Structure 1
Amino acid sequence: MFETSLSGLLTGRVALVTGAAGALGESICRALARAGAEVVGVDLVEGGACDFVADVATAEGNRLMVAEALRRHGRLDVLVLNAGVQFVAPIPEFPEEQWDRLMGVMVKGPFLAMKAAWAELTGRPASRVLITSSVSGMVAEPFKAAYVSAKHAVNGLTKVAALEGAPHGLTVNAVAPGWMSTPMVERQLPEQMALRGLTREQVLELLLDRQPVKRLIGTDEVAALFAFLASDLSSAVTGVCLPADLGTLAS
């Protein structure tokens, strides 16, 4: 659906995408490639669009992935920080190690990635940093203390990086999807059913209750926004978190 409209927008650019083994990461890699970019897909495990394995929660992993993009292509124009993990539990039962894991991947990881790539990105006009946030970065949900906190934090990081990148022509933005049709969402459903004492159908109805359009969002719909924000068409957009939420935040 989006292939024709994206064609050629990113010709000659190199993009690095974390979380490339996941459903959204694979869609982002595909959208950027269709738009003409050379894409390096990174994840902790092989699969999907991942072609380089690294731990993006660590400084060394981020250093290595940036170095790999430069080794392969000699430049880096677009840094997409999409890696994400989830854990669902009430606060009194939420394991500290899970808090640390989620914050490491989704807050510390993007910070370390930008730090590792900053010199390259700010040395090249019209570079882009894009981060996967969430509607949970603007509102809250029960049983997701770490995830909601991480996504709120990454929205703040987006704004700070946009201010610091502005003098160098670097734009920094986030995309906030609502409920997508992904394995990560599917894995949450049994946990939500147990925590709430509801059936699968009741949980889905509850999740979509605040969403005016009653359906799950396709990952290709979200990936198209990343391609737009990575392109010159978005040159006036920086420091924002763009929802792809079928009207959730408007309701």
Structure 2
Amino acid sequence: MSTPTRPTPGHGTRARYQRGCHCPPCEHAHRIYCRRRDYLAATGRALTIPAEPVRQHLRDLMDAGAGWNQLRTAARCSGSTLHSLLHGTRPTIRRSTAARILALRPGDCLPGKTPVPAIGSTRRVRALYAIGYTSRAISSAAGLDDKTIRVLLVGEHATTIQRVADTVAATYRRLATRPGPSRLAIRRAHTEGWHSPAAWDDIDDPCAMPDTGAGDTPLTHAEIRAINGEEMRHLASLGIAEHDIARRLGLRERHVHDTLRNLREAA
């Protein structure tokens, strides 16, 4: 099987010039590049910098478990660049590439199956419950199996895998500012003592404690009934059928029917 080759760069680029094309557009692109390189070097902003500090940082990342493919993706560079950097055959490196590598921190770029602490993922799932998302809604939004979310919710395991942690974190960022539709989820969260996203400053810190101010105090049964009643009244005013309201709020249809009847009589 033949090895795929890189497409030839277009005319008018320095990359094409480096491939041996010295047509006027390519030579012009090369001259522009050289002028910019010399100007940046003269003003202390050379395009390339010594590679040694970057090499040491790359080794630190790999010692902390960073994966090769993950590093390539995060640094947006080729495997050959990383290889030559890691093994000391590259004395300099482009400033832009160095900046991307140096911006990475130990613990970044872990392979998908690397075990990581589960506490942040568990807190995120519970926090989403506290604002109205069931495990099924979370798993659907995350593209994960419902069992995976339920295992995190229970919190029995000290670790999960990096791929799951990253997916849960991304889903949490999308949903944490939007209340979910399930009152059953909210009631369960209150019963279990799970805290909403607003309660956490650093949700991944094992030593962090939730802010249990007044805004995070569990609702009383009377408050929950009042909230449900207002929600039912609002949905009914939009012409939504009682069985649909019951499904949306996670309540029995008979309860919805009786509550709406009582609200109409009280009015």
Q: Write 1 or 2 for the structure with the bigger share of strand.
A: 1
TM over 0.5: no
Task: Point out the structure with max Rg over C-alpha.
Answer: 2
TM-score range (shorter-chain normalised) is under 0.3
Report the TM-score when normalising by structure 2.
0.24
Report the TM-score when normalising by structure 1.
0.25
Q: Write 1 or 2 for the structure with the bigger share of helix.
A: 2
Bigger relative contact order, structure 1 or 2, given CA contacts below 8 A and separation 6+? Answer: 1
